A and B are shown apart, each in its own frame.
Chain A
């Protein structure tokens, strides 16, 4: 008689992957060196700088003294609001003006204008010149005593005496915004042109057949299609301008009498001209908080776009 052994219940197989990692752990592993580097070269110096804001410290001399919130209150009770106001004037001006110029040119180039390829290349020219060089060029243009602009305006009989464009509070900020506009509009133009080229021609044709004029077509067809690109371009440019340094520093150094001083120039002047690293990092900390708000808005917008897709 043969007896069949009762079928043995298979032992439950251990849920193990033979030393293999889960996708989550793998992803963490891949990012770990990057995160570690990020922590070493960004987070640590950042925290260290924020920490320095609580000390009285001269950049040139060893040693420092804990002063609590004194450096922060120095700014908040003093120039903070003035610097914020000037930074915002510069940021709004240097964002909106090149946006309008860039959008107008993008629309013109997208309209099938003859020679648009050549013009597109030509308009990109200011963008490829380093910012400092652009600033020096415009510094010579705006120079009060031997600048090109005064020369042209005087020859044309528009002004009788030279104007100190960079030496007067009213015109200095304007000059800085004009210079930054010249350097920034090509980038905005290219981005907006790319957006415009994705608008289906059929939509325009249909709108035309419905009797829409060019202005109506712009608001009903073009703008809704490029609004996404435009908002990203505006926000990025706003964030960059909020941190912008070289144009202002080269043209006016924050003057005259501090009327073009922004967070970027004030931090630089305090740290590297005044050698007061404690106050400089305190202002940098306050500035960073404001920047974080802008970055949060940017992330919110881009996430919303991602969700919409």
Chain B
């Protein structure tokens, strides 16, 4: 029998070292995120905290937010760690980090995501803080979920259609189309301009195909009625059939999301596209055409029949606070950022995003801004929230419908079958 030349004592020593290694790995595992819970822990009184926002990932928005952060740090002698993920990846990244206890402090949220994030049980109730803010009622509602104020409203607006009046003029279109029929006609006129013009840079990628919802509503689909999903009804099928027609006639382009649409519009290659009010600032900033900002006009979404109410989706951002480290200071920061008159006015000047407080909205710089007032009259006044926002699975619901609409656009499914399948998937998601 051959032997190795190692004694039992030596072997035990080595085994001990090995065991220590495993114990170390185990300890590392124990330190790893533990999944969903209710509190992130940490010193709530800490002056230093994180601020997570998708806008810090966007060139047009980053400087103005960094300015707010720098001013706060200087005034309070604290340190804010800025964290960001791209908008289209934001919810999943944030959810994972939040679930793992890695996200603390203040968190910028799209109002559509509030329910999904609030259900994780990590956000602080800001009800008493919100009372101090002087927010409008609509704005306050956008930060509420299940009767609790989880978000301090930063900006409240809507997603609507923006038109390039210069291109419309070139195509001989003198007034904004008001019905779907007129809209189609205008798109054909614009297509006639040639030069690679995409008449309507509508979303055709899954990431923003939720833009189909206002069109479905335009055709008469309510999406959800008394807890019953109405996607799959004749109106939704008509809407998707119409969208497919625009796609096939190349009046809308394939492979477009919000960022592609802004790029096309910025290059003067699109006459209409859907965006939030923020779109003006972002698109004009990235365009080489310095006259574009003046040519951008908000447009009422065309209606099916004259006299119908134009459809638009409410949109806005809130700042929520994660329970735990830096909670108190982050709350003060959120309150300051969303309500301080000078801060909100300067932010509006930089990004064309209207504030959410009565005082902020009455500031002459905001109140006298033509684009903002026009936007409010034409789009926000009739805008409504999505009935699916109440569900934690809102993002999955939007994606399920978007995938089916995309299947119709690329010809792998018929509108009727696709909407039937979308309804089944939405029902399944709501039940889950």
> Which residues of A approach B to under 8 Å, CB–CB?
15, 17, 19-23, 25-26, 29-30, 32-33, 36-37, 40-41, 56, 58-62, 143-146, 161-162, 164, 166-169, 253, 255-259, 272-276
Contacts and interface: CB of A to CB of B under 8 A. Distances in A.
Contacts, number: 147
A20 B198 contact: no
Contact of B206 (A17, A25, A253): A253
Interface string B237-281: 000000000000010011110001001100101000000000000
Given A41-B25, A60-B116, A20 B6 contact: yes
A15 B2 CA distance: 11
B204 to A, nearest CB: 7
Nearest to B261: A145
A30 to B, nearest CB: 8
In the complex, which of the residues A15, A162, A166 has the most CB atoms of chain B within 10 Å of its own CB atom? A162
A36 B22 contact: yes
A161 B250 CA distance: 10
Interface of B: 1-9, 11, 14-15, 17-19, 21-22, 25-26, 29, 35-37, 92, 95-96, 98-99, 116, 119-121, 196, 198, 204-207, 250, 253-256, 260, 263-264, 267, 269, 392-393, 395-396, 399, 403, 406-407, 409-413, 432
Given A17-B3, A40-B25, A167-B410, 16 more contacts: A20-B3, A26-B11, A33-B15, A33-B21, A36-B18, A40-B22, A41-B25, A60-B98, A60-B119, A62-B121, A143-B255, A169-B412, A257-B406, A259-B410, A259-B412, A275-B393
A256 B410 CA distance: 7
A166 B6 contact: no
Contacts of B5: 20
B14 A29 contact: yes
A255 B264 contact: no
Given A59-B95, A255-B206, A164 B253 contact: yes
Contacts of A25: 4
5 contacts: A36-B22, A62-B35, A146-B264, A166-B255, A168-B410
A42 B88 CA distance: 31
Given A60-B36, A145-B256, A37 B413 contact: no
A-side interface mostly: loop
A56 B116 contact: no
B12 to A, nearest CB: 10
Contacts of B410: 167-169, 256-257, 259
Given A29-B11, A146-B263, A17 B1 contact: yes
Contacts of B395: 273
Contacts of A166: 255
B37 A272 contact: no
A122 to B, nearest CB: 32
B182 to A, nearest CB: 26
Given A26-B4, A62-B35, A144 B255 contact: yes
A297 B108 CA distance: 50
A19 B8 CA distance: 6
B407 A258 contact: yes
Contact of B99 (A40, A60, A161, A274): A60
A43 B57 CA distance: 38
In the complex, which of the residues B11, B96, B264, B395 has the most CB atoms of chain A within 10 Å of its own CB atom? B11
A166 B26 CA distance: 44
